[in-house]
Amino acid sequence: MNWLRGTLQELRKYPTAMLGLVVILALVLISAYALITIPYSEAIRLWRGGEEVVRDYPKNARPVWTNYFTRTKLARSYILDSREEDGEAIMRVTEPESSFAQKEETIIFSIDFEYDTFPQELILYLNGRYSEKQPHVSVTWETPDGREIRIGELSAGRNETYRFNADQRLERRLRGVKPEIGLFAVPESDPPVPLEGTYRLKVNSLLFDADDGLDARFVVYGQVYGLAGTDHRRRDLMVPLLWGTPVALAFGLLAAVGSTLTTMIIAAVGVWYGGAVDGAIQRITEVNLILPVLPILIMVGTFYSRSIWVILGVVILLGIFGAGIKTFRAIFLQVKESPYIEAAQSYGAGSWRIIMVYLVPRIVPLLIPQLVVLIPGFVFLEASLTVLGLGDPVLPTWGKIINDANNQGALFNGYYYWVLQPAALLMLTGLGFSMVGFALDRIFNPRLRGV
Amino acid sequence: MAETTVPIQPESSPAAAQKKASSGALNRILKYTLVRTIVLFITVVVGIYLTILIANMGGHVDNIRKAQIREGLAVAVGLSDEFRQLTPEMRRQTIEALALEEERRIGLDQPFILRSFGFLKNALTMNLGFAESMSSDSGSRTVRLIILERLPSTLVLFATANIFLFFLSIFAALILSRNYGSVIDRFVVAMAPTSAAPGWFYGIFLILIFAALLGWLPFGGMVSAPPPESKLLYAASLLRHMILPTAAIVVSTVFLTIYTWRTFFLIYSSEDYVEMAKAKGLTSRMIERRYILRPTLPTIITTFALTLINLWTGAIILETVFNWPGLGRLLFRAIGLFDTPVIVGSTVIYAYLLAITVFLLDFIYALVDPRVKVGGGGPKT
CB crowding B248-283: b at 16 or more within 10 Å, else e = bbbbbbbbbbbbbbbbbbbbbbeeebbeebeeeebe
- The verdict on A411 and A265 lying in the same domain is yes
Q: What is the pLDDT of residue A252?
A: 92
Range of the domain at B157: 151-326
Subunit contact A298:B50, Cβ cutoff 8 A: no
- The verdict on B117 and B155 lying in the same domain is no
Say if residue A372's pLDDT is above 90: no
- The verdict on B255 and B218 lying in the same domain is yes
Subunit contact B50:A420, Cβ cutoff 8 A: no
- The verdict on A200 and A241 lying in the same domain is no
Q: Summarize the confidence of residues B67-77 as an average pLDDT.
A: 80
Q: Which of A49-58, B92-101, B368-377 has the lowest mean pLDDT?
A: B368-377
Name the residue with higher pLDDT: A419 or A84.
A419
CATH code assigned at A328? 1.10.3720
Top-ranked range on mean pLDDT: pick from A69-78, A190-199, A422-431? A422-431
Subunit contact A434:B358, Cβ cutoff 8 A: no
Say if residue B191's pLDDT is above 70: yes
Task: Find which of B48, B187, B200, B253 to mutate to test the A interface (most A CBs within 10 Å of its CB).
Answer: B200
Q: Summarize the confidence of residues A337-341 as an average pLDDT.
A: 86
Tell me the ipTM for this assembly. Answer: 0.77
Q: What is the pLDDT of residue B165?
A: 92
Say if residue B1's pLDDT is above 50: no
CATH code assigned at A113? 2.60.120
- The verdict on B111 and B167 lying in the same domain is no
Q: What is the pLDDT of residue A83?
A: 80
Long-range contacts of A10-19 (CB under 8 A, 24+ apart): A10/A439, A10/A443, A11/A436, A11/A439, A11/A440, A11/A443, A14/A438, A14/A439, A14/A442, A16/A435, A16/A438, A16/A439, A16/B190, A16/B193, A17/A435, A17/A436, A17/A438, A17/A439, A17/A440, A19/A432, A19/A435
Range of the domain at A167: 72-221
How are the residues of chain A apportioned to helix, strand and coil, as percentages rounded to the nearest 5?
A: 55, 15, 30
- The verdict on A188 and A107 lying in the same domain is yes
What is the total count of domains within chain A? 2
Report chain A residues whose CB lies below 8 A from the CB of B193.
16, 20, 430-431, 434-435, 437-438
**Nearest C-alpha of chain B: how many angstroms from A94?**
54
Say if residue B161's pLDDT is above 60: yes
Secondary structure of residue A78 in the 3-state scheme: strand
**Nearest C-alpha of chain A: how many angstroms from B264?**
9
Task: Find which of A284, A291, A413 to mutate to test the B interface (most B CBs within 10 Å of its CB).
Answer: A291
pTM: 0.81
**Nearest C-alpha of chain A: how many angstroms from B146?**
17
Q: At B153, which amino acid appears?
A: S
- The verdict on A310 and A209 lying in the same domain is no
Say if residue B292's pLDDT is above 50: yes
Closest to B55 (Cβ–Cβ): which among A303, A412, A451? Answer: A303
**Nearest C-alpha of chain A: how many angstroms from B305?**
10
Q: Summarize the confidence of residues B141-155 as an average pLDDT.
A: 87
CA distance B273 to B376: 24
CA distance B345 to B124: 10
Closest to B51 (Cβ–Cβ): which among A289, A296, A323? Answer: A296
- The verdict on A354 and A401 lying in the same domain is yes
Residue A184, CB-side half-sphere exposure with 13 Å CA sphere:
25
C-beta of residue B311 within 8 angstroms of C-beta of residue B158: yes
Subunit contact B335:A287, Cβ cutoff 8 A: no
Subunit contact B354:A420, Cβ cutoff 8 A: no
Of the candidates A190, A221, A252, which is a domain's last residue? Answer: A221
Q: What is the pLDDT of residue A93?
A: 79
Does residue A422 form part of some domain?
Answer: yes
CATH code assigned at B310? 1.10.3720
Q: Compute the count of residue pairs across chains A and B with CB atoms less than 8 Å apart.
A: 149
CA distance B187 to B178: 15
Q: Following CA atoms A161, A162, A165, A170 in sequence, which dihedral angle do they give, to the nearest 10 degrees?
A: 170
Q: What is the pLDDT of residue A254?
A: 93
Does residue B170 form part of some domain?
Answer: yes
